[in-house]
Structure 1
Amino acid sequence: MNRFVRTLTLGAAVAVLATAANAADAPYYDKNVVVSPAPVSVTDWTGMYVGVFGGYGGGDFEYPFSVGSPALLSGQVDMSAGGFVGGAQIGFDWQASDAFVVGVVADIAWSDISDEVSVSLAAATDPITRVNGSLGTDLNYFGTIRARAGWLVTPDALLYVTGGAAYGETESALSLSASGAVDGSFGASTSDTDWGWTVGAGMEYRITENVSFETEYLYVDLGSKTLYSGDVFDLPARLDLDTSFHVVRAGVNFKFNMF
């Protein structure tokens, strides 16, 4: 009997010790502890970038003219101009806040934008009298120097507006010839770099930390200039050119990590 009691007592003690040991090893959870989520990385737009782009440009080139003094004939010739463009740009952005980005950008583009018209007229009363002429302008290249300001619609998508100065080289040529009552020929050409202004808007989407895709619209106005002022067939004449066009383009930018 005593041996049975001692055995039962020893078993009970072992069970109590085992339970205590398991309780000591069990994890402890504090319901009052708040677990913070892992920090979410925010895209930083600050830095310098370079890029390439291509697109299409087009608009109306306007040619106001007058002949005679006082003017015997005056008016304006409007011609549609269009062509492809492609070039490169360099810029710098600064992320002023979580949702606001400002920057500057300069670009230059080769241009295939051009227009040309040819006319051949015959006098109704004298078919032998004819006037032939041609007029055209090529925009060889253009560029802009702009500021831009945008809003981050998502951490990786920037919607922006832009504006600043614009420049471009226009090359124009005019030729006239007449036979019959008036006989002779005339030609004039000019090539100049003109300055004006530009405004536009676009969206840039960051594909990776250093690569982004951009689409952009620009309106470019290179102002007005005189193509010719002098005598044509013994009559004083003047011809001007107003150059403005629209550009839609897309490109890829590559950012440098400066900080």
Structure 2
Amino acid sequence: MSTVQRPQATLGGENHLICWPDPTILRSSDRSHGGCRVKYVLATSAVLLASPVSAQDWSGTWAGMAIGYGAGTYDQGDFEAGQEGVRVEVDRAIVGLHLERNFQRESTVFGFDVDISNGVYGMRPQGTGAPWWSCTIGDCVVDITAFMTIRGRYGWLLNPETMVYGAVGLAAGKAEGGILDSLQEGSSTAVGYTVGGGVSRMIGPNTVIYGEINHVDLGTLQFGAGDTPGEDVFDAKGDFATIKLGANFRF
């Protein structure tokens, strides 16, 4: 079978002679068995397999807001003295602001973010009993009025428009509560940690929507006086989780 030869082309760093059968003398029995044709197809397939999938640009500064829900539990008491109080279930709808800075290296995206939002709230009514510290004088309350997180993030692109990521960092919150209308009522700022993860979807060149779940532990929340005023503290220990949906915009 006669073939028509063409100039050489460089594929994957090697020179390949590109040729195909001369259509003027091609017989039907040769249509699928031309050696040059097979070589050309294999070389082209190798180039396509070696080519990386083009990725969207996720880098830059992004800002937006999120809505969600948080829930958890806190145990009140004078823990230094070993005196237990009531257990308070906390929850609340959450609304917050979000700022992040991303850097991208091929299919990985990393950076940091800052979140500011309201926190969770819970109350046991006056008269609720406990092993030691009952809600005798007033309601037993845990109110995290606001909290913020500063996290490092690392993500992987499942495809050019979809990223999964994990995040870990510091969490700080303003807490109020204790046993209301008593010496055990008070407020404080608590610092702890947060860890979580989520999925982001790019729906436009500068618009991303996301959903994420986080665990937040602010450490011990200090309220008012404990068993020995001036020495012990009436406080609460616990944690909560949040689930959020949000949107970010690049600027």
Question: CA contact under 8 A between 1:159 and 1:204: conserved in structure 2?
Answer: yes
**Following TM superposition, by how much is the alpha carbon of 1:237 offset from its aligned partner in structure 2, in angstroms?**
7.0
Alignment RMSD (CA, Å): 3.2
Question: CA contact under 8 A between 1:118 and 1:132: conserved in structure 2?
Answer: no
**Following TM superposition, by how much is the alpha carbon of 1:221 offset from its aligned partner in structure 2, in angstroms?**
0.7
What is aligned with 1:118? 125
Which of 93, 100, 124 is matched with 1:84 structurally? 93
Percent of aligned pairs with the same residue?
28
Which of 102, 113, 119 is matched with 1:105 structurally? 113
What is aligned with 1:144? 149
What is aligned with 1:201? 197
Which of 55, 60, 73 is matched with 1:42 structurally? 55
The aligned amino acid for 1:200 is G
Instruction: After superposition, give the CA deviation of every residue in 1:37-67 in whole Å (9 maximum; x if it has no partner).
Output: 9x97531111111111000011001213379
What is aligned with 2:166? 161
What is aligned with 2:15? none
User: Aligned runs of 1:24-63 on 2, under 5 Å?
Assistant: 32=19, 41-63=54-76
Query: Structure 1's 75 and 148: CA in aligned 2 closer, same or farther, altered over 3 A?
Result: same
User: Aligned runs of 1:240-259 on 2, under 5 Å?
Assistant: 240-256=235-251
The aligned amino acid for 1:59 is G
**Following TM superposition, by how much is the alpha carbon of 1:117 offset from its aligned partner in structure 2, in angstroms?**
1.1
Give the TM-score, by structure 1 length.
Answer: 0.68
Distance 2:175 2:101 in 1: 29
Which of 75, 90, 107 is matched with 2:84 structurally? 75
Question: CA contact under 8 A between 2:178 and 2:234: conserved in structure 1?
Answer: no
Query: Structure 1's 62 and 230: CA in aligned 2 closer, same or farther, altered over 3 A?
Result: closer
What is aligned with 1:25? none
**Following TM superposition, by how much is the alpha carbon of 1:204 offset from its aligned partner in structure 2, in angstroms?**
0.4
The aligned amino acid for 1:191 is S
The aligned amino acid for 2:150 is I
Which of 200, 207, 217 is matched with 1:211 structurally? 207
Query: Structure 1's 230 and 251: CA in aligned 2 closer, same or farther, altered over 3 A?
Result: closer
Give the TM-score, by structure 2 length.
Answer: 0.70
Ranges in structure 2 where 5+ consecutive residues have no aligned partner: 7-17, 21-39, 130-135
Question: CA contact under 8 A between 2:78 and 2:234: conserved in structure 1?
Answer: yes
Q: Considering only CA atoms, is the larger Rg found in Structure 1 or Structure 2?
A: 1
The aligned amino acid for 1:45 is W
Distance 1:188 1:200 in 2: 33
What is aligned with 1:95? 104
The aligned amino acid for 1:215 is G
**Following TM superposition, by how much is the alpha carbon of 1:225 offset from its aligned partner in structure 2, in angstroms?**
3.8
Runs of 4+, deviation exceeding 4 Å: 28-31, 33-37
The aligned amino acid for 1:198 is T
**Following TM superposition, by how much is the alpha carbon of 1:165 offset from its aligned partner in structure 2, in angstroms?**
0.4
Q: Secondary structure at the match of 1:207?
A: strand
Question: CA contact under 8 A between 2:70 and 2:243: conserved in structure 1?
Answer: yes
**Following TM superposition, by how much is the alpha carbon of 1:29 offset from its aligned partner in structure 2, in angstroms?**
10
User: Aligned runs of 1:129-140 on 2, under 5 Å?
Assistant: 131-140=136-145
The aligned amino acid for 1:49 is W
Distance 1:57 1:121 in 2: 24
Distance 1:121 1:40 in 2: 61
Question: CA contact under 8 A between 2:226 and 2:234: conserved in structure 1?
Answer: no
Question: CA contact under 8 A between 1:121 and 1:132: conserved in structure 2?
Answer: no
